[in-house]
Structure 1
Amino acid sequence: MTNPLLARWTGDFALPPFAAISDADFAPAFETAFAEARAIVATIAESGEPPTFANTIEAMELAEETLDRVAGVFYNLVGADSTPEREALQRELAPKMAAFSSEVTMNAPLFRRIEALWEARDSLGLIPEQRRVLELYHRMFVRAGAALDEAARKRMSEVKERLAVLSTAFSQNLLADERDWALPLAEGDLEGLPDFVVASAKAAAEERGQEGHVLTLNRSLIVPFLQFSTRRDLREKAFKAWLARGANGGETDNRGLAAEILKLREERAKLLGYESFAAYKLEPEMAKTPGAVRDLLMQVWKPARARAEDDAAILAKMMRDDGINGEFEPWDWRYYAERRRKAEHDLDEAELKPYFALDAMIEAAFDCAHRLFGLTFRPIDAKLYNPDARAWEVLRDGRHVAVFVGDYFARASKRSGAWCSAFRTQRKLGGDQRPIVVNVCNFAKPSKGKPALLSWDDARTLFHEFGHALHQILSDVTYGFISGTAVARDFVELPSQLYEHWLEVPEVLDRHARHATTGEPIPVQLRDRLIAATTYDQGFATVEYLASALVDLAFHEGAAPTDPMAVQEKVLAEIGLPRAIRMRHATPHFAHVFAGDGYSAGYYSYMWSEVMDADAFEAFREAGDPFDAATAKRLEAHILSAGGSQEPDALYSAFRGRMPGVEPLLKGRGLLEPA
């Protein structure tokens, strides 16, 4: 029988045939895909014809089509719905994928063809998009080591293969620690917990085949537990377990892996002539240099830390008023911050949550996309990879645009966090290929028959990931190499963070924030208090994020540390991290940085993009309408549909007419002192 991963998918919307795919299909499909891609690349590299854009760059664009298809399914599944078989194959594939990438990007005859095209670029008659693709291909090959001598190329390939193995191990260790820890909760342990937290703990027990209630390390469960549990002893136990992910000793301990990863990254950068990995990594980004990153982060650190220190003093007094002596601890912050929010803003998470049902928030995200960009979303009955996942056809003016998949609930087989990915990206070369985009979240699953209720933070996460999805859905480029989210790392968060702003628009809340039981809209007074409190506790949120970003930068800015944990502590001491706040992602579970190369020396990217997103939403305010058609049209034309077709600063300036300063960010976080 034909391997379903290798046959061209011809069903509705050319979706992967999930029902026909077994774990046993993946390994042979990868072997076939590797062999096919190698043969095509060899034909391109060894061609006797003079290099042209068509016979070299466009041919390379299509050379790995089968491999992209197989990998698109596998890596989405291994992140969202892993099995022991998939994890074993992921470990086996890590060095093979890295070796294949090195084979291609260090192929000397192929690089000579690309180099010849680059040197002749002004005489090739290329349109701007083609010139940009050529520039990026040439840059990719040079930065991969194609111009090195043979011995250096060999070592570079070895380094990349080892890094792939280490990052896979880091990710799987973290998943194991999160999957294996659970704290059974007796009736007395539920004290102070609102019904929605109790229901989530019951659903978590059911998922594990247990009776009663359990607390897990899923963020959508442990954070509300830390907010509401009156049991300080259990808050401490839970927080310490959350903090200890990847640092529990034994086979799943990530500390040694982190040190080796940093050492190999430094070697990789030095092979290419850079003084540090951060210098190498940041060169093609908007920031360009580690110094520019540090300048931005420290501009925000000072007011954020001051706000956090002021807040800590207030919260610590609340704790002492409760008769608790001793230090104000990290497991106390969320509990007293929630009580303070209720006292100062008359906001109670238990009162708010029924107005943020998952289905209503999905519809809110869809409705905003319709009003801004004319998109409509039609549910489709498709067999997907897990019963919790669901799909919609995306249309505009009745024409098919994309398929959107939403996979929202936490489960033991899913890695933590939230992300946007694609089973297929948009391109026009070789035929009009429409994207299949997926949002994956880890919201607490309700008990059977109960509606899924989101926190305000969960709802923001949903809008954030859907902003990424729109970047893929609305992509309109010829070449897959620059499609959708294939942009600079410190630009990719702009569409996602910008889209969060529409959740705070009063008319959006009036229309979609309806009580899950009664259907009544959120009361105006409650809505206004919620919006007024959006900058509440931003000292804490900003400080815990900046601490992680500054540690990431320090890891990669100079010589690789032999003891990353010591460097972490040194950086946190130097910047004066408040005692009751911890890094958002401590080193042993810092997946953004160590479970792959994406955000290494790049965790600052969220804040760099926030400088732009805060300013970008001002464009709608200046137009007098959050759904202003002309502004939305510019946003789509210059950012959402453009992919990586130009440098990010050119794209943003085309939308806004200029680049922004840091003031809108500080204002948006409530950190700007009144004049």
Structure 2
Amino acid sequence: MESEEDLSGLPSSAIEGAAHAAEEKELSGKWRFTLDYPSYIPFVQYADNRELRETMWRAFANRAYGDQYDNCDNIFKIVNLKHERANLLGYQNHAEYVLERRMAETPETVFGFLDKLKTAYKPAAEQDLKALKDFAQEQGLEGDLKPWDIAYYAEKLKQKLFNFSSEDFRPYLPLDKVLKGCFEHFEKLFNVEFRANSDYETWHEDVQSFEVFSKEDQSFIGTLYADFFPRTGKKQGAWMTSYREQGLFNGKIERPVIAIVCNFSKPTPGKPALLTHEEVTTLFHEMGHAMHGMLSNVTYRSLAGTSVLWDFVELPSQLQENWCYEKETLDMFAGHYETGDKIPEDLIQKLKDSIHFMVGWGGLRQISLGTLDMTWHTTEPSTIKDVAAFEDDAIKDCTLFPRLAGPVSSSFSHIFAGGYSAGYYSYKWAEVLDADTFELFLEKGLYNQDAAKAYRTEILERGGSEQPNILYKNFRGRDADPDALLRREGLLDKDKNAA
């Protein structure tokens, strides 16, 4: 981009990041926005220029569709091969094959789970959309609300309702302080200690390395790498990778080597890397995975840490996101990068007040993705002729907008390139578990040592050495309450049960 007028509405952090990205490509004096999340999301969220928002949205939605990188043939090959393997092994479809080794056990259970949540989310999503349309009209929107308007007007409506912007948090969330506070959180919760150690060789100069020790006896727990910034050749998103699992090797127990990988906006000249609150929850999420691996205490590597049934693996990660909304935790690290002032209490309260904002819209989106995944992996592939048409039919009851660009499937890397085929539902499945678990910490205390020790001993240390439903019952004293998630999201009264 060459015109400053096109930058209207964008926060300074996004503009500075785009200028820095342009300079890296020898485009000094211009602004370079990309489809990387740290660049794309602020653009569609804040840019006043509707035509440019549409351009960015369509480019993002059309990834790997309709050009030389079109993934449709690859999708057909992947789905056919998975279906063929399942048939050879005696299963009707890939989902049946996968779910035999999941808590859910059958495709019918998963579809039933998604349908139950859909009955709660869809009416709420319709209300969210109506409120957004009404607000956009009040703001002078001409014509119908389009998909490239959703994030933009949602941010403005949130600012009106709760009197704060997502960008208000950035000055109080410098990455270095957040990371230090994140470590302090886990130290307080699990009685461990993180120590920086630059002696480890890394794969890029941006990568940091740490050692983790037990505070109780100073025993070595494991090695942690942190890779936070985008670069050429690095994929988008955030994830945890285990390079060596805890477990027995050559007659002795070896400790794990783990990395957390994110894509946060890089520091710019004169300003450190500043995070949004959403990015803080991402960091805590991936650290939840990392601690699952770090605190593993099993004999065999194949059962260590995150080597659990797939619909259980997100519990330790998603659980940690809950602490990011609590003042006691935020006070550990949230301070202004220039003045050092603590984050204002009223800003924290506004954040908590906004937790239920657009929860129906976001929930229905996740249900649509879970439904799409399950439909791909329960359908006879020979009956599928067109990716886009198949997707439209699969999620017709879970969407409130007609498709205006390429199908999600063409870039749905979770289920076609990652490990979530017939497993995307597990995010919501784990949310039920994490909501029920966090209710215990809210009841006993955020850093209650009895609750933390029970969680560490019965969940984190055990890895995949026992069935998850047994581990959870040992920890909680009962099965998870499926209504805990709806209570947390304000879709069910706390003193009532769902019908």
**Which TM-score band applies after superposition, normalised by the shorter structure?**
over 0.9
Structure with bigger RCO (C-alpha 8 Å, 6+ apart): 2
Cα–Cα, structure 1 residues 333 and 475, in superposed 2: closer, same or farther, change >3 Å?
A: same
Counterpart CA distance in 1 for 2:114 and 2:493 is 17
Alpha-carbon offset, residue 307 of structure 1: 1.5
Alpha-carbon offset, residue 591 of structure 1: 0.6
Q: Which residue of 1 aligns with 2:412?
A: 590
SS of aligned partner of 1:323: coil
Q: 2:334 aligns with which of 485, 496, 513?
A: 513
Cα–Cα, structure 1 residues 298 and 401, in superposed 2: closer, same or farther, change >3 Å?
A: same
For the pair 1:467 / 2:288, whether they are aligned, the reply is yes
CA RMSD after TM alignment: 1.8
The amino acid of 2:390's aligned partner reads V
SS of aligned partner of 2:314: helix
| Deviation string, structure 1 residues 116-167 (Cα, Å, up to 9, x no partner) | xxxxxxxxxxxxxxxxxxxxxxxxxxxxxxxxxxxxxxxxxxxxxxxxxxxx
Counterpart CA distance in 2 for 1:345 and 1:584 is 34
Alpha-carbon offset, residue 206 of structure 1: 3.1
Q: Which residue of 1 aligns with 2:427?
A: 606
- 4+ residue stretches of structure 1 with deviation over 4 A? 580-585
The amino acid of 2:233's aligned partner reads S
Contact 2:336 2:343 in 1 (8 A): yes
Q: Which residue of 2 aligns with 1:371?
A: 188
Counterpart CA distance in 1 for 2:492 and 2:234 is 39
SS of aligned partner of 1:403: strand
SS of aligned partner of 2:223: strand
| Deviation string, structure 1 residues 76-120 (Cα, Å, up to 9, x no partner) | xxxxxxxxxxxxxxxxxxxxxxxxxxxxxxxxxxxxxxxxxxxxx
Counterpart CA distance in 1 for 2:293 and 2:85 is 31
The amino acid of 2:417's aligned partner reads A
Q: Which residue of 1 aligns with 2:377?
A: 556
Counterpart CA distance in 2 for 1:588 and 1:275 is 25
Among all aligned residue pairs of Structure 1 and Structure 2, give the percentage whose two residues are the same amino acid. Answer: 36
Q: Which residue of 2 aligns with 1:650?
A: 470
SS of aligned partner of 1:489: coil
SS of aligned partner of 2:273: coil
For the pair 1:529 / 2:346, whether they are aligned, the reply is no
Q: 2:321 aligns with which of 483, 500, 503?
A: 500
| Deviation string, structure 1 residues 381-405 (Cα, Å, up to 9, x no partner) | 1331111110111111322211111
Q: 2:122 aligns with which of 281, 302, 305?
A: 305
The amino acid of 2:5's aligned partner reads G
Counterpart CA distance in 2 for 1:189 and 1:643 is 51
Q: Which residue of 1 aligns with 2:227?
A: 407
| Deviation string, structure 1 residues 213-241 (Cα, Å, up to 9, x no partner) | 11111112211111111000010000111
Count of residue pairs the alignment pairs up: 488
For the pair 1:434 / 2:251, whether they are aligned, the reply is no
Alpha-carbon offset, residue 207 of structure 1: 3.5
TM-score, length basis structure 1:
0.70
Contact 1:204 1:445 in 2 (8 A): no
Counterpart CA distance in 2 for 1:450 and 1:584 is 38
Counterpart CA distance in 2 for 1:458 and 1:270 is 42
Counterpart CA distance in 2 for 1:511 and 1:567 is 48
Cα–Cα, structure 1 residues 477 and 581, in superposed 2: closer, same or farther, change >3 Å?
A: farther
Cα–Cα, structure 1 residues 404 and 333, in superposed 2: closer, same or farther, change >3 Å?
A: same
| Deviation string, structure 1 residues 358-394 (Cα, Å, up to 9, x no partner) | 1122122211110111111111113311111101111
Contact 1:544 1:584 in 2 (8 A): no
The amino acid of 1:468's aligned partner reads H
The amino acid of 2:375's aligned partner reads A
| Deviation string, structure 1 residues 450-500 (Cα, Å, up to 9, x no partner) | 111111111111110000000010011111110111111100000000111
Q: Which residue of 2 aligns with 1:40?
A: none
Farther off after superposition, 304-313 or 647-656: 304-313
Q: 1:361 aligns with which of 149, 171, 178?
A: 178
| Deviation string, structure 1 residues 430-464 (Cα, Å, up to 9, x no partner) | 22211111000111213133111111111111110
Larger Rg: 1
Q: Which residue of 2 aligns with 1:174?
A: none
TM-score, length basis structure 2:
0.94
Contact 2:114 2:367 in 1 (8 A): yes
Contact 1:199 1:447 in 2 (8 A): yes
Cα–Cα, structure 1 residues 185 and 302, in superposed 2: closer, same or farther, change >3 Å?
A: farther
Map 1:309-458 → 2, pairs under 5 A:
309-381=126-198, 382-397=200-215, 398-430=218-250, 431-458=252-279
SS of aligned partner of 1:423: strand
Higher normalized helix content (fraction of residues): 1
Q: Which residue of 2 aligns with 1:249?
A: 67
Map 1:612-651 → 2, pairs under 5 A:
612-623=433-444, 625-651=445-471
Alpha-carbon offset, residue 661 of structure 1: 2.8
For the pair 1:205 / 2:205, whether they are aligned, the reply is no
Q: Which residue of 2 aligns with 1:577?
A: 399
